[in-house]
Amino acid sequence: MGDPHLLSSAHPAAAASSFARKHPGPIDERFSDPSPHITKRPRVAADTAATGGSAPYPEAEVRSLVMMAGGIYPLARAEALRGLAAVLGKVDAYRCFVAGIVECCYGCAVELMRDEDEGVRLAVVGLLGLCAQKFAARWDVDAKSDGDIMDLIFQQLSSMARDMCTKVRIEAFGALGKMQRVSEGVLLQLLSKKVIKTDTMSGTIIKGQKLPPKLKIPCAAGIFAHGIEDEFYQVRTAACTSLGALAKFSSQYAEKALDLLMDMMNDDTETVRLQTLQALFHMATYGYLSMQEKHMHMFLGLLVDANALIRNAARKILGLVNLPKLQMFKSAIDCLIASLEKNPEEQDIYGILFSIGKNHGSFSANIAKHLAKEIATASDGELILDRPRVKALMIVSISAPFSDDKHKKLDIPSIIFSHAISLLGKVSCALGEEVNQDSLLSYLCHKGGMPLWGNRSVSAEFGESESCKVETVEVGEQIENTAKATKCLDRVLVMQSVESILQTVEGAWTMRMSCDVCEARTILRTCKEELKVLAENSSGSIGAFLSFLCEYLDAIRLVVELWQLIQLDNSYTVGLTAPDILLEKLNISVRRMECCYAGLNRGLEVQVMELSLLANLLGLSNIGACSKAVLSKLVWVINRLEGLCADGSCELSDFSREIKKTFEADHIGNALIRNIHTSVELFRLKPTTDFGALKAISAVFQVCDNNSENPLSYICGLPVGVSFNISLWNISSNNRLWLHMSIGESVQHTFLEFSSFEGDGEVKSGSMVVPLNTTPMAHSFVLRVCLIMECYGGISSNQERHGGPSDCVVQLSDELDVYFVSTGQR
């Protein structure tokens, strides 16, 4: 219900009538008694027609609706007001005869502000908001009077924001946020429950000119303070939206509104918090948001919030605001890094880091200098680029030359640019469309002291800032095809890094002889992490090869640990992993290299077969006796190696020849066990870097509409269907895929028909409903699901299960949890 103080002191209806008399229109002259003239055509309409106007004349329709609005039936009054709003929305506010229509509709709305029916008051708010839009669009009338009426409507909408009806309050706050003109004094009063004196207020803002206010505004006092404390979250959400939308009218208001909006970040409702962040984002987008140090603690807490939507919204705001102090800048960077370490899948953080660094060039240059010192003082064995923190700081440092601090000299150390080349993919994604990857690589190479490009200037690509201009690099012949040259250079840089890593791996393998397993294991793990860094920034065959090498290093690390167990004589050594567990992990790793990569060339396959031979030899040693299955596998691997080397393109290694010779002399295998030390010492790591057209086989799947808070329903003991969306990469019709579903010890396999998937090229996808044949007699349970693929290598494992895969399998996807709850428990 409207505020009685407003209606008694300001007399809006009387004010409307007085305002109408100052600007008479065709309706106002006959408004007191419309019936005698209802069929007459207005004079001004005739004048309009005479001047060539062809628009329809809504006067008669408006008169009829005004009469309906004074009726005794609430529904009729509400419909009449909505009808007036529909008519008003179609007319042109710049036509002279429309002035009377707008004022008539406004006067009708004011008279019904205190109507007893909620539906009528709701319609009043909509009509008042529309009238405000029409008044704001009229520049041909007296600006002073127009400013007064806009402030008056603002007060009236403010009074409606205190209505007892929730819907009316929501609509009123929404209308306040859509106001196009309002005085600064009225705005400031919205935030203060204490009535501000009129003589201290600024006037109405019209086309940049301020006019002195005349109106008293007690009804507007503290409207938003009440709105954000409303018991209904919908009202609080609407209040937050309007708070941000009105910031464009006054910087002083925006500063005070920020205090209220930051308080709303403690709201219990997620919707309110998200809308508050949206309001802050709106303010930041248009330059109305000035972050203050007192708000930083609250805001930075949002960057590590448990809700991903909250984190994402807060990051977007941080990428736009200006941070006046270096300490605030560093705190923001540290929180983003903490969020990245906690949620590594949120790769958009790198783009936000680049935006923040670009907006604060001098601060980013400070970060770059400290990072350069850290890189220079790092020990040779430490691979600092493996850490998300260093990647993030590298992105911030690279962003400094793109900043608008043209008046400052930003001296970025060249070591930053040279190390950033290995992060080319991440830097390119962070820049987005600002510069293409080819020019970025050229720029980084030049600034890092690596003149790898022909006669070309990349300054055009970095034209947004003077500090990004670079001189032409003249080295060798001019590169005609830039894109092709970039890919070749990128591949060369990656392969140089890979060769260096593999040399380190070979050195770590020799450490096994000195039993310095801990150091060797650390080096192998570090090398694997560095390969992962390269794989994240690579795609296609290079990406598949790097993934293959990660599997290879895993297997080598397991072999080193097993070799230590074999060499140890004392069985009471503490801290060692059981040999059978290590052997199982080693076999899985070898199996993944055999089955999860399509297009293995001869060199890579020989690598895998020799590693398989070594794994089976270690298996015999662990058992301590000859196993028929292991011996059969050894025979198959030796025959496969001979077949691969039959054409002379590659030769059997000393290790393979020794195993073959020993096995031919003793088919039982006792000689293999006795001579295992000699055989293993002959094994040499000579990993090839020729990977051809290698492709990684992988799969991703998800369950539709299911999580721990939204479980699927089932009836105990009866089958239930589960919907899956599955995507496959580089899978052929020769591959046999299964869904492995388990509940405790109970396991079910479901074969996936290749024809169920659609798609061209490397990726195929499909959706299907898979029945779970038996459900437990329990209130709820969790089903664990993963995708597996049969492996056809060597001798069958004889693990054939009824209705399941008949050979060795390899897991293609991560295990997924599907949540169920009995229908009786909902």
Per-residue pLDDT tens over the stretch 459-470: 444 444 444 433
Contact 802, 823 (CB under 8 A): no
* DSSP-assigned letters across all residues of 219-283: GGTTHHHHHTT-SSHHHHHHHHHHHHHGGGG-HHHHHHHHHHHHHGGG-S-HHHHHHHHHHHHHH
Residue 818: per-residue pLDDT: 94
Q: How many CA atoms lie within 13 A of 450 on its CB side?
A: 17
Rounded distance, CA 186 to CA 179, Å? 12
Q: Which class in CATH covers the domain with range 697-822? A: mainly beta
Whether residue 308 is predicted with pLDDT greater than 90 in this model: the reply is no
Domains of the chain by residue range: 291-449, 492-567+578-682, 697-822
The mean-pLDDT minimum among 32-46, 72-86, 153-167, 400-414 falls in 32-46
The mean-pLDDT minimum among 45-59, 327-341, 577-591, 661-675 falls in 45-59
Q: What is the largest CA-CA distance in the chain?
A: 125
What is the average per-residue pLDDT within 510-522?
71
The mean-pLDDT minimum among 100-109, 346-355, 423-432, 711-720 falls in 423-432
Whether residue 701 is predicted with pLDDT greater than 80 in this model: the reply is yes
Residue 497: per-residue pLDDT: 76
Rounded distance, CA 14 to CA 149, Å? 13
Closest CA to 322 of 270, 272, 357: 357
Question: Hey, what are 814's tokens?
Answer: 């991560």
User: For residue 581, which amino acid is it?
Assistant: I
Sequence-distant contacts of 243-246: CB under 8 A, at least 24 apart = 243/177, 243/279, 244/177, 244/278, 244/279, 244/280, 244/282, 244/283, 245/177, 245/178, 245/279, 245/282, 246/176, 246/177, 246/179, 246/182, 246/187, 246/190
Q: Which residues of 611-642 are buried (b: 16+ CB within 10 A; e: fewer)?
A: bbbbbbbbbbbbeeeeeeebbebbebbbebbe
pLDDT band at 490 (very low <50, low <70, confident <90, very high): low
Residue 721: per-residue pLDDT: 92
What is the average per-residue pLDDT within 366-381?
74
What sign for the dihedral angle of Cα 755, 760, 761, 763? negative
Residue 14: per-residue pLDDT: 39
Give the helix ranges, DSSP H, for 343-408. 349-359, 361-377, 388-399
What is the average per-residue pLDDT within 25-44?
34
Whether residue 4 is predicted with pLDDT greater than 50 in this model: the reply is no
The mean-pLDDT minimum among 164-178, 184-198, 275-289 falls in 184-198
Within 667-800, strands assigned E span 695-696, 698-703, 712-714, 720-729, 737-743, 746-752, 763-772, 780-790
Residue 475: per-residue pLDDT: 28
Residue 252: per-residue pLDDT: 83
Whether residue 451 is predicted with pLDDT greater than 60 in this model: the reply is no
Per-residue pLDDT tens over the stretch 221-255: 788 888 888 889 899 999 898 888 888 888 888 88
pLDDT band at 35 (very low <50, low <70, confident <90, very high): very low
Contacts of 294 (CB under 8 A, 6+ apart): none
pLDDT band at 408 (very low <50, low <70, confident <90, very high): low
Closest CA to 593 of 556, 548, 542, 547: 548
Name which residue leads in pLDDT, 170 or 207: 170
Rounded distance, CA 301 to CA 784, Å? 34
Rounded distance, CA 709 to CA 723, Å? 17
Residue 450: per-residue pLDDT: 63
Whether residue 303 is predicted with pLDDT greater than 80 in this model: the reply is yes
Please state the φ and ψ torsions of residue 598, each to the nearest 5 degrees. -90, 145
Whether residue 742 is predicted with pLDDT greater than 90 in this model: the reply is yes
Question: Hey, what are 465's tokens?
Answer: 């800032």
Residue in the block written with tokens 């690390």: 557
State the pairing for strand pair 737-743/780-790. antiparallel
* DSSP-assigned letters across all residues of 113-154: TT-S-HHHHHHHHHHHHHHHHHHHH--SS-HHHHHHHHHHHH
In percent, the amount of the chain with pLDDT more than 70 equals: 73
What is the average per-residue pLDDT within 161-182?
88
Name which residue leads in pLDDT, 406 or 707: 707
Rounded distance, CA 354 to CA 360, Å? 10
Residue 226: per-residue pLDDT: 84
pLDDT band at 216 (very low <50, low <70, confident <90, very high): low
Per-residue pLDDT tens over the stretch 631-643: 788 888 888 888 8
Residue 467: per-residue pLDDT: 40
DSSP-assigned letter for residue 178: T
In percent, the amount of the chain with pLDDT more than 90 equals: 8
What CA–CA distances, in Å, run from 797 to 205, 312, 746? Answer: 83, 48, 21
What is the average per-residue pLDDT within 665-692?
74
pLDDT band at 783 (very low <50, low <70, confident <90, very high): very high
Q: What is the pTM of this model?
A: 0.50
What is the average per-residue pLDDT within 697-710?
88
> Which helix H or strand E contains 592, and what residues bound it?
helix 579-595
